[in-house]
A and B are shown apart, each in its own frame.
Chain A
């Protein structure tokens, strides 16, 4: 008996099966660390633009956030793909939902990657447009 999804026998599905498990283990460390720092030790009372700008001054946290974004987003998208596989059987609807998933998936991953890689802390509050 399997508790998780039964291990597939070939092709992309085997890759996906292993990806879910490997990314899952890495994400446990990255996400629990992220939650502890950003939601428990600090809270939204402290976090604002200046907080994130200072944090992203460090290449370590940028890399951390980028790796976490890619793994979490792909892990989640593949999970939703399996949910669609389970519940959407009509051929037309499958094409529509899977295409929408791929499009939204690509756009949001591109947005997240762009802001992490290209964000530049403003040199002053004035250039940032802040009071």
Chain B
């Protein structure tokens, strides 16, 4: 049964995180293009320095990290003989790995926002 199990959720999350990262990348190309106008570039930085963005940035990292780890799982299933049989176990290993990396990284990223410099 595919529907409702790990396979479905990992697939939905892969899509949603992928689309979110693509949207940010489009915005990021435009902001980097503004380097051609140094004063405009520096003046607009207040947007990225806003606490709302700093929190969004932590979720951007979460999206990239999930997409990367799930990408590795897809490769294991596609190219490793045992990958298909173990795909559920790999999914849960991936969840644990995600939390182990993401939680400390988020704390590092948010500490200057919460405590100041």
Contact = CB atoms under 8 A, between A and B. Distances in A.
Contact of B35 (A1, A2, A49): A49
Contact of B64 (A7, A31, A111, A112): A31
Contact of A115 (B11, B36, B49, B68): B36
B61 interface: yes
Contacts of B74: 3-4, 21
- Contact-residue bracket for chain A: 35 or more
Contacts of B15: 79, 83
Q: Is the interface of A mostly helix, strand, loop or mixed?
A: helix
B83 to A, nearest CB: 8
Nearest to B18: A79
Contacts of B53: 44
Interface in A46-61: 47-49, 52-53
A79 B74 CA distance: 14
Interface in A72-95: 72-73, 76-77, 79-80, 83
Given A32-B68, A76-B22, 13 more contacts: A1-B7, A3-B73, A25-B71, A25-B75, A28-B68, A31-B68, A43-B109, A44-B53, A72-B25, A77-B22, A108-B26, A111-B30, A128-B39
Interface of A: 1-4, 7, 21, 24-25, 27-28, 31-32, 35, 39-40, 43-45, 47-49, 52-53, 69, 72-73, 76-77, 79-80, 83, 104, 108-109, 111-112, 114-116, 119, 122, 128-130
